[in-house]
Amino acid sequence: MRYKSKLIVNIVKEFFLVIILVLLFSCETGEGWKPKGEVSVINFNEVETIEGKKCKIDYKIKNIGAVKIIKSTISFEINSDKNIYYLTITDSTTILPDKEIFGNFYVFYLSTNETLIDLGAIKIRSSFFE
């Protein structure tokens, strides 16, 4: 009887060891379930209004992951010829895998004689996707 109980205990131990090993080696690192996106600046357009001079910046967010993106947070750095502006936007538009959305925002300049030279003056400092 004692031999049977030891045998059962050893079988249970081996069973759990096999399950743990299968779980460790068969699971992904978790990166496949994490939303992944890519942000790019498409265009900019400067306009003068009653409120002053402002720059409209158009951007694109593409979902390059395997799961949908439900929220995007992007930080931009905009370098005019006179000042540097920092702006963070949040977009709650759902983006399915391999799809993209377009958005825009405005930056109000501190002076009317500021200008952007080219698209390279607009940098994406960071992005986070949920």
pLDDT in tens, 92-124: 999 999 999 999 999 999 998 999 988 889 999
Count up the domains in the chain and report the number: 2
Q: Do both 46 and 92 map to the same domain?
A: yes
Query: Which residues, 6+ apart, have CB-to-CB distance to 99 below 8 Å?
Result: 62, 63
Q: Do both 54 and 8 map to the same domain?
A: no
Query: In which band, very low, low, confident or very high, does the pLDDT at 30 lie, cut at 50, 70 and 90?
Result: low
CA dist 86 and 78 (Å) reads: 6
Q: Do both 124 and 69 map to the same domain?
A: yes
Q: Do both 63 and 20 map to the same domain?
A: no
Residue 37 has pLDDT above 80, yes or no: yes
Q: Which pLDDT does position 100 carry in this prediction?
A: 97
Q: Do both 65 and 14 map to the same domain?
A: no
Q: Which pLDDT does position 14 carry in this prediction?
A: 78
Q: Do both 67 and 95 map to the same domain?
A: yes
φ and ψ at residue 59, rounded to 5 degrees: -135, 165
Q: Do both 72 and 96 map to the same domain?
A: yes
Query: In which band, very low, low, confident or very high, does the pLDDT at 26 lie, cut at 50, 70 and 90?
Result: low
CA dist 99 and 67 (Å) reads: 11
Domain extent for 88:
34-129
What is the distance between the terminal CA atoms of the chain, rounded to a whole angstrom?
A: 57
CATH of the domain at 42: 2.60.40
Query: In which band, very low, low, confident or very high, does the pLDDT at 8 lie, cut at 50, 70 and 90?
Result: confident
Q: Do both 15 and 70 map to the same domain?
A: no
Q: Do both 43 and 21 map to the same domain?
A: no
Q: Which pLDDT does position 105 carry in this prediction?
A: 96
Q: Do both 54 and 86 map to the same domain?
A: yes
